Amino acid sequence: MQMLYAPRVMNRATDPTRLLRAAVVGAGVFGRFHAAKYKALPGVELVGIVDRSTEAAIAAAKDLGCRPFVDTYALTGEIDLVTIATPAVGHASAVVRLLEEGVHAYVEKPIAASLAEADRIVAAADSNGCVLQVGHQERFVFAHMGLMARKTPPKRIECHRAGPWSGRGTDVNVALDLMVHDIDLVHQIAPGDAVVTAATTRARPDSYGDEVSAELAMGGGCRVSLFASRIAEARRRFMRIEYADGTVLIDFIARTIENTTPEPLTTIFSDAAGGVAADPLGYAVGDFVRCVRESAEPLVTGRDGRRALATTLAILDAADSPATRDEAMAA
C-alpha cells in the first residue's frame, strides 16, 4: 500500500525552530558531496559521516567539520535524517535500522541491489512514517523542464549515455550505475509497465557489465531504446522523445534542446534555469529536507526507486541469457 503522508504533526523534524540533524553513510566521493550539501543548507546540522574504514571516516569528518562514525548503530538518537551513499549491496543493511528508529532517509540510486532488499527498505519507511527519497536527481531537472507534465504519451524514446573508461562505478553493472537514471525518467513519461524485448552487454577483459543495450515495450505502444557505456571512445549523452505532435531532443553534452511539439519547455541550460539545473544534487537534497520539514511525499519515492530497479534487473537478466551472454572486448 502506498504510504499516505499525514497532515503535518509538530515534532522535532517539523519544528522550524530546531536544527535538523543529518548524517551521511559512506565517505566516498559521492558521500562527501551529500555531506557538503547538508552543510550548506540553513536549518541543518551535519552531525557526522559514517564509513567502515576508520581512516576514511576520520579524514572525511576532518574535511567536513563533523564527527566520524564507523557504523550506523552509533547514530541512534543522534540524527533526524540520513543519506545512504554506500555501494548498493549495503543500502538495506545501512538504512533499515535507521528507518525503524524514525530517521528519514535519502537513499542513493539504485535503491538496493535486489528487489527483496528494496522491499525491506520501502516497508520500513512505510511502517515508521518516514520520508524515503531515492537519488534519481535528474527527475527534478525533467520536472523543471515540463516534460513530466505533458499529457500526450510518447511513441518512441531513445536514451544514450556513454563515456570513456575511468575505472569508477565498477562495483556494479553500468546499467545499475548509469542506465538506471534513464530508466527512471522513462517510467515518468511513458505509461504502463516495461517489457524487455532485447538486451545485450559486453565488457573489458578485466571487468564486467561495462556496456549495455536494451529495447523495451511500454504501455500504449511506446518503444524505448537504451544504451549505456563506460568504455566508449567519447562522451555522448542525449535523449530523444518522439510524440505524435513532434519531437524533443535533449543533448546534455552540447547543452541544447530541440522541441518541435506545440508545448513550450523550460530550458535547463541557461543561467536563469536556477539551482535545479546547475546543481541537481543540491536541489534534490534541499527538497528532501523540505519534505522532512513538511511531512510531504518526495518527488522520487521508494516505490519509484524499486520500479526503476526492477526494470534494470530485468534488462540484466535478459542480457545474461545464453543467447546474449557478455562478449569480452578484444584487448
pLDDT digits (tens, 9 = 90+) for 124-164: 999 999 999 999 999 998 999 999 988 899 999 999 999 99
Distances (CA, A) of 154 to 91, 117, 202, 242: 34, 32, 29, 6
DSSP 23-59: EEE--SHHHHHHHHHHHHSTTEEEEEEE-SSHHHHHH
- Domain 20-130, architecture per CATH: 3-Layer(aba) Sandwich (3.40)
Could you tell me the residue ranges of all domains in the chain?
20-130, 139-272+310-328
Strand order in the sheet with 156-162: 256-259, 246-251, 236-243, 156-162, 223-229, 211-217, 195-203, 327-328
Q: Which fold has domain 139-272+310-328?
A: Dihydrodipicolinate Reductase; domain 2 (3.30.360)
211-217 vs 246-251, strand pairing mode: unpaired
SS3 state of residue 127: helix
Instruction: At 135, list the grid cell.
Output: 537519488
Q: Which of 29, 28, 72 is nearest to 47 (CA)?
A: 72
Spell out the residues 6+ positions from residue 200 whose beta carbon is closer than 8 angstroms to its own: 212, 213, 214, 319, 324
Q: For 225, phi and psi rounded to 5 degrees?
A: -115, 130
CA distance 186 to 193: 10
SS3 state of residue 289: helix
User: Would you give per-residue pLDDT tens digits along the chain (331 residues)?
Assistant: 344 444 444 566 777 778 999 999 999 999 999 999 999 999 999 999 999 999 999 999 999 999 999 999 899 899 999 999 999 999 999 999 999 999 999 999 999 999 999 999 999 999 999 999 999 999 998 999 999 988 899 999 999 999 999 877 677 899 999 999 999 999 999 999 999 999 999 999 888 899 999 999 998 899 999 999 999 999 999 999 999 999 999 999 988 999 999 999 988 887 665 667 778 999 999 999 999 999 999 999 999 999 999 999 999 999 986 444 444 333 3
Q: Which of 53, 58, 97, 63 is nearest to 77 (CA)?
A: 97
SS3 state of residue 305: helix
Instruction: At 195, list the grid cell.
Output: 517489457
Note whether 20-130 and 139-272+310-328 share their fold.
no
CA distance 177 to 94: 19
Whole-prediction pTM? 0.91
C-beta atoms surrounding 54 within 10 Å? 11
Q: Which of 21, 24, 17 is nearest to 79 (CA)?
A: 21
